[in-house]
């Protein structure tokens, strides 16, 4: 697994630093699972959500040192006329080659980490009681111990493929190449504290998302109050509703 080396978790368990937002919840899920939809619903409830995919996109979509490092590694032919990185070509390269993907992660993930830390500081300054990380690679990068609760979103493989093809105009092959780079659903079930099943329509998803927000908040509060570290993955099996 290449992710961990460039996005190494801090020593665990990590108590929040003095004055830090007291609760931190992780929201994760594979491509097209509905994680951003859940994040949007939580935002509408007034929760501060930090979007790690957005932080990641900002590295390659804004001309600057991240773009230059990526171009130096992958070649001038990936530079767009606007001076950013051609994401479609980059996706073709890195989702076909784990070594290339590891190189890109070495460039992007430390910058994502910095952007997240900045946003956490802003949340702290604003006195937010809760921060959610919408973090697609939370499990792949072994970050569970940083969170009071980890919520996973699951959906059927075929629904996920159909939705990304339909809503983002990408090919089935693109989605499948990304699915192969992410942890399996079984692994998500094993390692998340709570799961949201996105297996029907948007209305049901909205109800489940709101219910799960309260459960996650309660679990994180409970652990914080008891100063109980998050248990290792094996003991979270079977804890989903």
Ligand X SMILES: CC(C)(COP(=O)(O)OP(=O)(O)OC[C@H]1O[C@@H](n2cnc3c(N)ncnc32)[C@H](O)[C@@H]1O)[C@@H](O)C(=O)NCCC(=O)NCCS
> Which residues define the annotated binding site for ATP?
32-37
Q: In the complex with ligand X, which residue's Cβ is closer, 24 or 223? A: 24
For 93, the token pair is 């390269």
137 binds ligand X (CB under 6 A): yes
Q: At closest approach, how far in Å is the CB of 37 from ligand ATP? A: 3
Applying CB under 6 A, among 67, 78, 94, 149 the residue interacting with ligand X is: 94
Q: In the complex with ligand ATP, which residue's Cβ is closer, 131 or 178? A: 178
Alpha helices (H) in 83-168, listed in sequence order: 87-94, 98-125, 157-168
Q: In the complex with ligand X, which residue's Cβ is closer, 188 or 223? A: 188
Q: Say how far apart CA 52 and CA 8 lie, in whole Å.
A: 15
The entry of ligand X, ligand ATP, none near residue 167 (CB within 5 to 8 angstroms by kind) is ligand ATP
Q: Say how far apart CA 161 and CA 176 lie, in whole Å.
A: 8
Q: Cβ distance 38 to 153 under 8 Å? A: yes
Applying CB under 6 A, among 81, 201, 225, 238 the residue interacting with ligand ATP is: 201
152 binds ligand ATP (CB under 6 A): no
Q: Residues of 193-213 as b/e, b for ≥16 C-beta within 10 angstroms?
A: bbbbbbeeeeeebeebbeebb
Specify the residue for token string 């994680």: 35
CB-based contacts of 72, cutoff 8 Å, min separation 6: none
165 binds ligand X (CB under 6 A): no
Binding positions for ligand X, rule: CB under 6 A: 31, 52-53, 56-57, 60, 87, 90-91, 94, 101, 104-105, 108-109, 112, 136-137, 178, 181-182
């Amino acid at each position: 697994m290449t992710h961990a080396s460039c996005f190494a978790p801090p020593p665990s368990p990590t108590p929040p630093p003095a004055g830090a937002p007291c609760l931190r919840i992780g929201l994760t899920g594979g491509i097209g699972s509905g994680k951003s939809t859940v994040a949007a619903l939580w935002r509408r409830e007034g929760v501060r959500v930090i979007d790690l995919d957005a932080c990641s996109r900002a590295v390659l979509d804004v001309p600057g040192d991240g773009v230059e490092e990526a171009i130096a590694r992958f070649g001038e032919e990936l530079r767009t006329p606007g001076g950013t990185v051609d994401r479609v070509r980059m996706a073709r390269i890195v989702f076909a080659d784990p070594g290339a993907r590891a190189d890109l992660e070495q460039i992007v993930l430390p910058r994502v980490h910095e952007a997240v830390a900045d946003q956490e500081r802003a949340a702290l300054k604003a006195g937010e009681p809760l921060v959610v990380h919408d973090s697609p690679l939370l499990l792949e990068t072994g970050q569970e111990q940083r969170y009071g609760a980890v919520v996973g979103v699951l959906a059927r493989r075929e629904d996920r493929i159909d939705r990304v093809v339909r809503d983002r105009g990408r090919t089935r092959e693109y989605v499948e190449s990304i699915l192969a780079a992410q942890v399996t659903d079984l692994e998500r079930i094993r390692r998340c504290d709570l799961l949201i099943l996105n297996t029907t329509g948007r209305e049901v998803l909205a109800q489940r998302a709101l219910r799960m927000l309260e459960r996650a908040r309660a679990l994180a509060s409970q652990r914080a109050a008891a100063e109980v570290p998050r248990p290792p993955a094996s003991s979270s099996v079977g804890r989903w509703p």
